[in-house]
Structure 1
Amino acid sequence: MTEVSSLTGRLLVATPALADPNFDRAVVLLLDHDEKGSLGVVLNRPTPVGVGDVLDGWAELAGEPGVVFQGGPVSLDSALGVAVIPGDSTERAPSPSSRLRSSRGDPIGWRRVHGAIGLVDLEAPPELLAAALGSLRIFAGYSGWGPGQLEDELADGAWYVVESEPGDVSSPVPENLWRAVLRRQRSELAMIATYPDDPSLN
């Protein structure tokens, strides 16, 4: 079996050709990608449900808009927390809160996925992470692909793969994220950002 090059931490940006309504103009942050499959969350699907309505203790830590996001079509009754820890927490000088850090220097209750982005243990007391978190998003459900499935979609031209930035997780205007991510690319992808919502009106 061919070894899969991990895309963990990268963004999947839906191409205009992607027909699946679940992923129309979606920007997906890949939280896990290997030969067993892929898992990610859609960053630009806010719901009307406030974080405080479902996870009261975490509401104060959630960035604007303070709503739950639909991470994808799978397991919509489960919640995932994705948060950014400002700076490289592995190189910080010891602080009074250092006893609340793991042996790797990461805050307890937060598992690094890529760079400053990591998964939050929503079972942990929110106050354990409050001082360390830069931004937090709560997702209902996730996006999943079986072994080789994402690779097939990439080969079919369904997704652009680009680098993520920590600010993507907490974009205050998630509805603009698809265009914003494409616009910052230093390639012909920047032109795709101007693609009309309905090409038939062009």
Structure 2
Amino acid sequence: MARKTPKPIPASAGIDPREGWLTGQLLVAMPAMQDPRFARAVICLCAHSGDGAMGIVLNKPLEGLSFEELLKQLNLDPVPPQRRIRLVSGGPVENGRGFVLHSDDWETEGSLKVQPGVALTASVDILKAIAGGGGPREGFLALGYAGWGPGQLENEIQQNAWLSVPADERLLFAAAPDRLWREALAKLHVDPALLSGTAGHA
């Protein structure tokens, strides 16, 4: 399946990250989430303002494409790479667009500061650096993102579709995808078996 060259975060995301709000938090889907695309999803909210929100799903491994295959499609060297990062399906919006969520020890022009210690980069420069053995200490590549229009995420939170959890490096970069949902809830001292669609925490 052909992939497009990663580009900067599109203006259609409608985000001014300086406004803050829940930027940098993790959204954890409630067990009653009706949308199958987000069942048990954990999303890093990279930007949130009155104009909308944009986030990256952390725990949906990308099937059928390796980092090495992606480098070949983008004509990036070296192949095989000196270093590899994992790939995830970052969300249903523009899933031909690549984003690297990473530790902020490496940044380039256009990198978006998500929170202290975490940045988002949508430039092929970061893929070149990683393939060459450098780049950020932690990170992964997401194809696509999750997006919300003005007020949409706030409405979903009010309807108890999501919990919000402070992000930390382990949840962002080290937790196994199949355990991340429970580990994020555990940070809130929440037992998934006791959750219902009528009680939430935002």
- List alignment gaps of at least 5 residues for structure 2: 1-18, 196-202
| Whole-Å separation in 2 of the counterparts to 1:195 and 1:61 | 42
Is 1:55 paired with 2:97? no
Q: Does the CA contact (< 8 Å) of 2:59 and 2:178 recur in 1?
A: yes
Structure 1 match to 2:129: 127
Whole-angstrom CA distance in 1 between matches of 2:115 and 2:37: 25
Residues 121/18 of structure 1: CA separation in 2 closer, same or farther (3 Å cut): closer
Letter in 2 for 1:73: P
Would the alpha carbon gap of residues 34 and 75 (structure 1) be closer, same or farther in structure 2, given more than 3 Å must change?
Answer: same
Q: Which of 82, 85, 88 in structure 1 is aligned with 2:101?
A: 82
Letter in 2 for 1:141: G
TM-score, scaled relative to structure 1: 0.73
Q: Report the Cα distance in structure 1 between the residues aligned to 2:119 and 2:20, rounded to whole angstroms.
A: 20
1:152 aligns with 2:191: no
% identity of equivalent residues: 29
Quote the Cα distance in structure 1 between the aligned partners of 2:148 and 2:82: 32
For structure 1, list consecutive stretches of 5 or more residues without a partner in the other structure.
90-105, 197-202
Distance 2:70 2:49 in 1: 31
Structure with higher Rg: it is 1
> By how many angstroms is 1:76 displaced?
1.0
Given the superposition, is the C-alpha separation of residues 138 and 5 from structure 1 closer, same or farther in structure 2, using an over 3 Å criterion?
closer
User: 1:165 maps to what in 2?
Assistant: 168
Give the alignment's TM-score, normalised by structure 2: 0.73
- Structure 2 Cα separation of the partners of residues 130 and 50 of structure 1: 17
Q: How many residue pairs are counted as aligned between the two chains?
A: 167
Q: 1:137 aligns with which of 136, 140, 150?
A: 140
What does residue 119 of structure 2 align with? 118
Q: Is the 8 A contact 1:61 1:136 kept in 2?
A: no
Equivalent position amino acid for 2:148 in 1:
W
Question: Partners of 2:51 and 2:40 in 1: how far apart?
Answer: 26
CA RMSD of aligned residues (A): 2.6
Q: Deviations over 1:30-78 (max 9, x none)?
A: 0000000000011000022212211355955444xx3x21111111111
Residues 1:23 and 2:38 aligned together: yes
